[in-house]
Amino acid sequence: MSPRRNRPNGTGSSGPSAEDDRSGRYGGWQSTESWRGEEWSVRHVAGASTHGKAYRCPGCDQLIPDGVPHVVAWPEHAGVDDRRHWHKACWNAKDRRTTRVQRSRNAPRF
C-alpha cells in the first residue's frame, strides 16, 4: 500500500492559491488590507472553528491555543502555504513591531 499524499496536487511552487480554499473551515469574515506594499487577504476566525489545532503567531512568537479567536493573513497572490495565524492584537500592531522577534536561548523552535 502506498502512503497517502498530505498535500493536494497544485500548480506553482507553493501549491494552490489560498483563494481556492473555499471549504469555509475558517469561518468569520474576510477583507483585504495593504501591508508592506502588498495586498493581504485577512480572515477573522472564530475560536470554535479551529478544530483542535494550536498555531504560533508570527507577531509575538507565542502559541494561539485551540478555541481562541484570531486572524489568518496571507499575501493576496500567494499559495495556501503562505497563510499565517496571528493574534488579533498582534495583527493590529504589526506596523509597530520589529521585524525580528528574538527568542531566549532555550526557547523551542516550531
pLDDT digits (tens, 9 = 90+) for 29-56: 788 888 888 899 999 988 776 667 888 9
Confidence at residue 19, expressed as pLDDT on a 0 to 100 scale: 47
The pTM assigned to this predicted structure is 0.62
Query: Which sequence spans correspond to the domains of the chain?
Result: 21-95
DSSP string, 44-100: EE-GGGSTT--EE-TTT--EE-TT--EEEEEETTSBGGG-EEE-HHHHHTGGGS-SS
pLDDT of residue 16: 46
User: What pLDDT is attached to residue 57?
Assistant: 92
Q: Is the pLDDT of residue 87 over 90?
A: yes
Digit-coded pLDDT (tens) for 49-76? 666 788 899 988 899 988 889 999 999 8
